[in-house]
């Protein structure tokens, strides 16, 4: 299984059994308009989750904010300090 990092647009692959890999898990709660980002082990992440690398080779490709907002189903006008 693989996920796509919205920041660098590269794939994040499921780790091997002996490997330990961490990612940032992004969550947006519409009711309270809270955006959170947690550090999680990749083995604990479900298939439909929105995740990014801890450190992307390219810091931010153009359109990152738009991509992550659409993946998280955030309103387009909503801004947040985590979206730097």
pLDDT band at 81 (very low <50, low <70, confident <90, very high): confident
Q: How far is CA 17 from CA 5, 21, 46, 48, 49, in A?
A: 21, 10, 16, 21, 20
pTM above 0.75, yes or no: yes
- What's the pLDDT score for residue 59? 61
* 58 has a pLDDT exceeding 70: no
Total count of residues recorded for the chain:
84
- What's the pLDDT score for residue 2? 85
- Greater pLDDT, 58 or 8: 8
Residue with tokens 């992550």, as numbered in its chain: 68
Q: Taking the domains of the chain in order of start, what are their residue ranges?
A: 2-72
């Amino acid at each position: 299984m693989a996920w796509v990092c919205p920041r660098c647009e590269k794939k994040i692959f499921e780790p091997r059994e002996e490997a330990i890999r961490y990612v940032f898990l992004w969550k947006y709660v519409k009711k309270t308009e809270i955006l959170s980002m947690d550090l999680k082990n990749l083995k604990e992440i479900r298939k439909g989750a929105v995740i990014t690398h801890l450190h992307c080779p390219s810091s931010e490709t153009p359109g990152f904010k738009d991509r992550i907002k659409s993946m998280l189903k955030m309103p387009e006008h909503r801004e947040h300090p985590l979206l730097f």
